[in-house]
């Protein structure tokens, strides 16, 4: 059956909306995430303040930039987390329910991409604003400093959207790999640790040693949360930010094309055990 482009778009949008509304039901989880994000950010800020007191000029980012980076990281952490709550995808492969997904008139790659994106976005929207607001209410040097110009906001928004796409596209490669694995735990742990560290989730990439940074800055992880957060805190602006967004678009295209090709190869012959 031939499905036109308009029908496919409506189908993917409906899936996105359904998954988005479904995840908003978990209010207790959302409240817990907000409280955790606030206090974790505050502890990180206090740690950086102790470091900066030793020598303000010894670090690659200004104190206000680092503090803003920490608050923004916790606010948008769900958007830029590769390994997230996509248990239904893992379960469908393990249980054989993926056969139903393959029978749908929509492509499996687009179906899972929308499902994964909506899961992240629904949690991020209810987590982002409260943590940002709490960070803004704190006095300096503990509080968040927002971007000061419309241009910076526009560049940040473009970079954040692209980073979100890169994150989901990288997660799709992990999902495809599960067609060849018995359990997802090993690949989840490896991807979680690697992506968090090399995307600036533990410390900002500018804090990396120069020899390591020369390599890390070209990896797809650098196109995830690192880029929009650097723009948000004001360390990357103007032409540097534009080049950074182009770098993100490059990796987005590479990851999506690779993911689609890998998905097509993996689903050429799928054996459902037990049926």
The answer to the question of residue 55 being in a domain is: yes
Structural domain count of the chain? 1
The answer to the question of residue 274 being in a domain is: no
Looking at residue 2, its pLDDT comes to 45
The answer to the question of residue 254 being in a domain is: yes
pLDDT level of residue 77 (50, 70, 90 thresholds): confident
pLDDT level of residue 1 (50, 70, 90 thresholds): very low
Looking at residue 70, its pLDDT comes to 94
* Nearest-5° Cα angle at 98, 95 to 100: 115
Q: What is the pLDDT of residues 17-72, one digit of tens each?
A: 666 666 556 666 667 777 888 888 899 999 999 999 988 788 899 999 999 999 99
| Cα-based torsion angle of the residue sequence 11, 270, 83, 110 in order, rounded to the nearest 10 degrees | -20
The predicted model scores a pTM of 0.85
Structural domain of residue 241, as residue ranges?
5-266
pLDDT at 245 over 60: yes
The answer to the question of residue 275 being in a domain is: no
Torsion sign across C-alpha atoms 252, 254, 257, 259? negative
The pLDDT of 102-110, averaged and rounded, is: 77
pLDDT at 272 over 90: no
Q: What is the pLDDT of residues 174-210, one digit of tens each?
A: 988 888 877 778 888 899 999 999 999 999 999 999 9
The answer to the question of residue 272 being in a domain is: no
Looking at residue 119, its pLDDT comes to 81
């Amino acid at each position: 059956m031939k499905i036109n482009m308009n029908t496919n778009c409506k189908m993917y949008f409906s899936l996105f909306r359904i998954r988005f509304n479904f995840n908003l039901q978990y209010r207790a989880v959302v409240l817990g995430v907000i409280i955790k994000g606030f206090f974790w950010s505050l502890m990180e800020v206090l740690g950086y303040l102790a470091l900066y007191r030793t020598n303000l000029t010894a670090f690659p980012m200004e104190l206000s930039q680092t503090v803003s980076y920490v608050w923004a990281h916790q606010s948008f952490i769900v958007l830029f987390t590769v390994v997230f709550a996509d248990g239904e995808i893992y379960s469908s492969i393990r249980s054989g329910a993926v056969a139903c997904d393959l029978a749908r008139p929509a492509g499996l790659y687009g179906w899972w991409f929308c499902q994964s994106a909506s899961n992240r976005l629904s949690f991020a929207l209810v987590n982002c604003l409260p943590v940002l607001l709490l960070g803004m209410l704190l006095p300096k040097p503990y509080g968040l400093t927002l971007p000061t110009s419309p241009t910076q906001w526009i560049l940040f928004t473009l970079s954040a959207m692209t980073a979100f796409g890169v994150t989901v596209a990288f997660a799709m490669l992990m999902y495809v790999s599960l067609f060849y694995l018995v359990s997802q735990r090993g690949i989840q742990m490896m991807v979680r640790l690697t992506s968090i560290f090399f995307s600036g989730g533990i410390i900002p990439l500018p804090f990396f040693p120069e020899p390591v940074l020369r390599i890390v800055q070209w990896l797809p992880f650098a196109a995830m949360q690192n880029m929009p957060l650097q723009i948000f805190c004001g360390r990357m602006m103007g032409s540097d930010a534009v080049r950074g967004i182009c770098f993100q678009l490059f990796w987005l295209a590479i990851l999506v094309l690779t993911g689609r090709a890998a998905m097509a190869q993996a689903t050429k012959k799928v054996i459902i055990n037990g049926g």
